[in-house]
Amino acid sequence: MKKITILGASGSIGGSTLDVLRLHPDRYSVFAVTAFQNVEKLERICLEFAPEYAVMVDHTAAANLKARLQQAGSSTSVLAGVDDLMSVSQHDDVDIVMASIVGAAGLKPTLAAVKAGKKVLLANKESLVMSGKLFMDAVKASGSELLPTDSEHNAIFQSLPDNFSSIAAAGVRKLLLTGSGGPFLSTPLEGLAKVTPEQACLHPNWSMGKKISVDSATMMNKGLEYIEACWLFNAKPSEIEVVVHPQSIVHSMVQYLDGSVIAQMGQPDMRTPIAHCLGWPERIGSGVASLDFLNMKNLTFAAPDFERFPCLGLAMEAFAAGGSYSTALNAANEVAVDKFLNGELPFNKIGVLVADIMNDWSLGEPDCIDDVITADQVARQKAESLAVSLCKAL
């Protein structure tokens, strides 16, 4: 029986993880679940899965949850605050950590799990984008098993040979990172100033949290994933190509030197990569139906349009620039997406805000995680004040 901590259990990935765990009560038990402040959701999860701990970042929400669980006769202990996200990630009794907090808030708890040598299922791409080399160094030092849960990276992982050590040794020519292009793939460019958060969050194929849905609409998600792939597979920028594939059936591919291409295909449903990571190296059921090839739409592939999706190009530039550019890019994007979701920034200014932060960035390579967090905070403050002037200029 493996014990699992689910960071971000109240979210979209958290829910899909619980769906898979529900199918395998003989293999996995839930050790801890965490959420920012959604009391009702965490209460339901605690009553069904009876974890040892539930952590709420928000202290008032934690007090509420505690009262409700006590009344229901639950044995789950409720903890509160950011530090306890780390306690339940690195706890001696935990075997597996699902890292599915959204955004920079996932960095410290995900890294705590890595440093404690856990099997870590990485959905929280922002933590790796922010801290790149330091994160991968920590994986090596602790011997943690880092399994890519993001569907594209999971597809690449599945399409690479077992015991993959490097792109060159595996005879790989390129990693082909697919992306749907999101809901605005063919919206007239001049219409992008007016799109609403509801439209941006209506992804054609995937059902996801709001932040990643907006990232998919700007293709910043693919940019973050490009950086994620460079770190996970130790690939050079010239070894990764982004391919727009609107049907989201081919989740990514590996092109080999001999001309072979190995792809992983499946329904656009995160339960598949989650089950793959949970069971790895075995295969376990996910509850996802098989593809029906006889009734499938045409599969199409195209080059990305960098004018429509400037965020994709910005992310590529941030990785190439090194230093703490990727940290700044991620922080500026989080601020911009938040402002867009709150109706304070037009959709087409997300890329403008990120570009402005990048153009004015001067902090160097982080030596430690505290440096990463400082870079993140500096970029956020700059982005906050820039957003105000961008909005005034409208």
Contact of residue 242 among Mg ion, ligand NAD, none (CB under 5-8 Å per partner type): none
Smallest distance from the beta carbon of 264 to ligand NAD, in angstroms? 14
Measured distance CA(364)–CA(361) in Å, rounded: 9
Q: Interface with ligand NAD includes 14 (CB under 6 A)?
A: yes
Measured distance CA(226)–CA(29) in Å, rounded: 33
Give the one residue of 91, 125, 339, 349 binding ligand NAD; rule: CB under 6 A.
125
Q: Which of residues 250-279 bind ligand NAD (CB under 6 A)?
A: 270
Phi then psi for residue 220, to 5 deg, are -60, -30
CA nearest to 355, candidates 377, 382, 374, 394 = 382
Q: Interface with ligand NAD includes 182 (CB under 6 A)?
A: no
| Per-residue 3-state assignment (H helix, E strand, C coil) for 11-77 | CHHHHHHHHHHHCCCCCEEEEEEEECCCHHHHHHHHHHHCCCEEEECCHHHHHHHHHHHHHCCCCCE
Q: Interface with ligand NAD includes 131 (CB under 6 A)?
A: no
Task: Dig out the tokens for 274 from the structure.
Answer: 């989650």
- 79 vs 329 by CB, closer to Mg ion: 329
Q: Interface with ligand NAD includes 35 (CB under 6 A)?
A: yes
Per-position x/- string for 203-222, each x denoting binding to ligand NAD as judged by CB under 6 A, each - no binding: ---x-xx-xx----------
Q: Interface with ligand NAD includes 46 (CB under 6 A)?
A: no
Check: CB of residue 177 under 8 Å from CB of residue 226: yes
**DSSP 8-state symbol, 85:** H
Q: Interface with Mg ion includes 228 (CB under 5 A)?
A: no
Q: Interface with Mg ion includes 52 (CB under 5 A)?
A: no
Measured from each CB, the residue nearest to ligand NAD is: 11
Contact of residue 123 among ligand NAD, Mg ion, none (CB under 5-8 Å per partner type): ligand NAD
- 150 vs 356 by CB, closer to Mg ion: 150
| Per-residue 3-state assignment (H helix, E strand, C coil) for 254-316 | EEECCCCEEEEECCCCCHHHHHHHHHCCCCCCCCCCCCCHHHCCCCCCECCCCCCCHHHHHHH
**DSSP 8-state symbol, 177:** E
Contacts of 71 (CB under 8 A, 6+ apart): none
Per-position x/- string for 67-106, each x denoting binding to ligand NAD as judged by CB under 6 A, each - no binding: ---------------------------------xxx--x-
Q: Interface with ligand NAD includes 228 (CB under 6 A)?
A: no
Q: Which residues in this chain contact Mg ion in the complex, by CB under 5 A?
A: 150-152
Q: Which residues in this chain contact ligand NAD in the complex, by CB under 6 A?
A: 8-14, 35-36, 38, 57, 100-102, 105, 123-126, 150, 206, 208-209, 211-212, 270
